Chain A
């Protein structure tokens, strides 16, 4: 069990979360990348044909956008050092604002409320213009604060 926990600790110590992202098969499958910008963690979902949900428009599958936002929220919680273990998702609500073109999608999260057991996190995804979000999530996670780890 210690392998993954060590990986999280290592990522936090180095500030490089890409190793953690790549270690999760589904993240690697989607090709998710992360980087820091102005003190915030930005996640990138590369656009490609295998994530198309509507070939007519074409548009990225909404489930993938939801999954990407949930992932961004989880990575943000770990990146911000609020939990040593992978947070467990309790609820996720996804709002879809616009069709997501099959290009790179970016996402950023903020922690709305951090309790001793539950964290409420919001994340927003955009493509060309950060002011024109394609979707947003509001999610609750079960966390184990870093102190307990």
Chain B
């Protein structure tokens, strides 16, 4: 991800000039940039990111398959993005838990995409589901569900914070 990731306008009905997430997009997350993760699109409680294959992220040197942990980071990041774009006002969020099902090893030397949707926002908790895939949204590599707490006051791990 570049320092200022490009965003495409969402087709969502609520997206518009009042969408508060632009500031969030412009705050680079060091480790996400480090891994080469790119934001493809985000808005209206959804996010899509792309992770290009890289040799130094491999988990099995014999097959060249990326380490599952890299997929974890990709999914955690895109879930956080989906949460942020689901909020009416920018506020810090922290991951409470994240469950990932590894459906198959990712094919080496090909991009992995991760798509997330914040499907329920309550006063304190955002519920998110996500998938990781390669050739198309049906070609699943992993499936995940996560919960995020709004505001960092519980002392949990902040994922991202809107710059004001």
Q: List chain A positions with a Cβ less than 8 A from chain B.
A: 1, 3-4, 23-29, 49-57, 59-68, 70-71, 86, 88-100, 134-135
Contacts and interface: CB of A to CB of B under 8 A. Distances in A.
Q: Taking chain A's interface residues, is the majority helix, strand, or loop, or is none over half, making it mixed?
A: mixed
Q: Taking chain B's interface residues, is the majority helix, strand, or loop, or is none over half, making it mixed?
A: mixed
B32 interface: yes
Contact of B31 (A53, A96, A98): A53
A130 B76 CA distance: 25
Nearest to A5: B62
B158 interface: yes
B73 A93 contact: no
Contacts of B32: 53, 61
CB-based closest 7 A-B pairs: A67-B69, A63-B73, A26-B67, A63-B76, A61-B31, A52-B30, A93-B99
Interface residues of B, number: 44
B34 interface: yes
A25 B73 contact: no
Interface of B: 27-32, 34, 55-62, 66-70, 72-77, 94-102, 105, 152, 155-161
Contacts of A59: 157-158
